[in-house]
Amino acid sequence: MRCEYWKWGYGSVKNHSKSDSCLTYLKRNVTIATGRKSFPLGPKFLALTCFLAAAPFLASAQESAAPATEVSTVVTPADWGETVPAPAIPIPAPAAPAAVEPAPAEQARNQENSLPPAPAVDLTRPADDLWERIRSGFAMPDLDSPLVGVRERWYAGQPEYLARMVERSKLYLYYIVEEVQKRGMPTEIALLPMVESAFNPMAYSRSHASGLWQFIPSTGRNYKLNQNWWTDARRDIVASTNAALDYLQVLYQLHGDWQLALASYNWGENGVTRAVERNRAKGLPTNYQNLKMPSETRGYLPKLQALKNIISNPLGFGIQLEPIPNEPYFVTVPTPENMDVRIAAKLAEMSEQELIALNPAINRPVISGPHTQALVLPTDRMETFRRNLAAYDQPLASWQAYRMKRGDSLERLAAKHGIALSKLKLANGITWRTKVGAGFELLLPVKGTDAAIEPLPAVFRPPVLTPRRGGGIVHVVRKGETLYGISRRYRVSTDSLLRWNHVGTLTTGQRLIIYRGSGKARTSARPVKISAAQPKQDTVTTILPAERR
């Protein structure tokens, strides 16, 4: 920007930029001369001249300055090079800033800041529902197979079957999940008993696999699950769970893949290893989907995957999944020397059926201390059991062990101790195949007790290997039926029913093998389900030809 100033006399005006102060401009560019001789400006005149010359600059500076800043130009003696009093120009005080209305977003933030703080969420707090804990621990890769959809539809179409399985699992599932997570294993493993046994600890297969985890005898012995006359640890909840997890970890280390480990659990590690080696030799993939395997193993993982999908989103399948508390259901207490199952249940103030459900390894009506070191009880019954045991002053066992001598017979011993022969055989697990003679150990009722007349507890009864014969049928026990009524119906003796089936207390859905003569059943057959653990398609009529062995 260029400016021009008045010319005084012969004075000359030079160009000036805004960067020059007005006083510097006057000193440098204003010259006043009269005639031939110039004279210096007087102090008053010079001050007036400075003020008039600086006025346009002051106006321009005020126009271009920021609105919030007041600029004052103060003349100092340094600008003149001599002592000059500075002009007294009043400088107004800065005005108070106008009140600004906050923006809506800022108002919302201010309102949020005024609210009480939200409670902190503790992500480490355990879930109240055990299903939530299981879902959060899923870590196995999902199986992509059309068989998964088939099993999903089947399970979703059997809500009653799922409900019974979940109800049984409430007793054992917390302990299994706890042990699985202690080992850093995926929680899908905790669902495996659903596939193996439908969480029925008394499940027994044709290959003689037993318990929740379905150990066959040889594998059970390999993992220190003792099987003797008194107990079968394959059905022990604590021992079998630890053995199963040990076995699964060995299989995972062998294959480095959980799907192959589970296939080995079902088929056997040798079978899976051979299948992997065959595919590797042919240059084929060695994963689960591409191995050649039995149809049972091919459908094994899809069952587990289908259950995993349903538990992950039960409502999506129309399933109401009953909650399970995320807390221990049972504890273990030391077992006395010998104790009747009936008395143990009485001291714990629970039913015999509930006690056996937690102690399914027991084979006899007596809990033997040397063979059963710990008794499993519900958490809320432990103190009750201890208190009642301390106050109990009667014999804990109404049965005693006896080793048969030469000349002894079951008939004589039964008559001597006032017990029915069939009940004596049942209490001792004696079948037509059992060799009884001198040196055979059996249980006899203690004289003066009610053991001879009390009903036997419904401990585990393995299916009896029947001789090869024709005419055998299977009867499915209905609610309210008795051995006497069934024997009358099929025109056989009660003793024969006990001998053929090795049963004690009947339960609904139990299967009885019956061999009869030419007489026919008095009632017609109706379709019923074999048991709660069987699929819907495995329904049979009430009477079936017995399986030949």
Catalytically active residues are 196
**Residue owning tokens 């019974």:** 164
444 bridge partner residues? 400
Count of beta carbons in the 10 Å neighbourhood of residue 507: 13
Closest CA to 3 of 11, 12, 14: 14
List the one residue out of 267, 291, 294, 270 whose CA is nearest residue 281: 291
Q: Residue 518 burial (CB < 10 Å; 0-12/13-18/19+)?
A: exposed
Distance of CA 399 to the CA centre of its chain: 42
**15 conformational bin, left if phi > 0, alpha if psi -120 to 50, beta if neither:** beta
Other CB atoms within a 10 A radius of the CB of residue 528 amount to: 14
Contact 425, 410 (CB under 8 A): yes
Round to whole Å and give the CA distance between 304 and 154.
13
The widest CA-to-CA distance across the chain, in whole angstroms, is 170
> What would the DSSP string read from start to end of 20-58?
S-HHHHHHHH---EETTEE-PPPHHHHHHHHHHHHHHHH
Return the percent helix, strand and coil in the chain, to nearest 5: 40, 10, 50
Whether the CB-CB separation of 24 and 80 falls below 8 Å is answered with: no
| Residue 65 DSSP code | S
CB-CB contact of 242 with 175 (8 Å): no
Tokens of 499: 């001998």
CA-wise closest residue to 406 among 429, 440, 446 = 440
Residue 275: strand, helix, or coil: helix
Burial class (CB in 10 A: 0-12, 13-18, 19+), 28: exposed
Whether the CB-CB separation of 422 and 494 falls below 8 Å is answered with yes
Torsion sign, CA atoms 453, 458, 462, 467? positive
User: Cβ of 44: how many Cβ atoms within 10 Å?
Assistant: 8
Angle between helices 494-501 and 483-490 (to 10 degrees): 100
Contacts 24+ apart (CB under 8 A), 537-542: 540/474, 540/476, 542/475, 542/476
Task: Tell me whether residue 82 is exposed, middle or buried, using C-beta atoms within 10 angstroms of its C-beta: 0 to 12, 13 to 18, 19 or more.
Answer: exposed
Say how far apart CA 198 and CA 84 lie, in whole Å: 109
